[in-house]
Amino acid sequence: VAITGSSGRPIISKDGGATWSGTDVSLIDLVPGYEGFNSSAVWTGNNVLYYSSEGRDPGVVHVVKTTDTGKSWSTADSGLPDAAVSQLAVDTRDASGRTLFAATDLGVYWTQDGGKSWSLFGAGLPNVSVRGLYVSPEGRFMRIATYGRGVWEIDLP
């Protein structure tokens, strides 16, 4: 289980919530350029954990990941626009866990390589602030909640 903590803290439980770690560390200190404002935490199918940030300063890191349950962290936002990320969602069809979607202030972006590169997702979607993503359990479609342009539904490729 992972939740977002204040001041950039990743709060992680390896035992279903009986005990928690991460309250004494900050991603702000561990990842150069990350300024906190954690917005979401998402596990992938291969035990990789991603955190996103709604940081709004120019040039900040917006997505980080760990492959060792929080012992070390790295950036995972190459190609994302310089815009806040309000939520991450995993493509449930990708057993490798490398395909994710990011709800940003400039639309939806996706990666198929674990955050090494991101690109704009969805032809015809508005270029507006996206606040929420829902990927259906079978991975056939995604619902996208925007600020000011309603809710959109798109079939996943």
> Tens digits of per-residue pLDDT, 75-100?
999 999 999 999 999 998 998 889 99
pLDDT of residue 22: 75
Q: Which residue has the tokens 């950036």?
A: 75
pLDDT of residue 87: 97
pLDDT of residue 28: 95
Structure tokens that stand for 69 in this block: 């349950």
Residues 6+ apart with CB under 8 A from 90: 42, 43, 44, 45, 97, 99, 100, 101, 135
Residue spans of the chain under pLDDT 70? none
Rounded-to-integer distance, Cα 99 and Cα 101, Å:
7
pLDDT of residue 70: 86
pLDDT of residue 86: 97
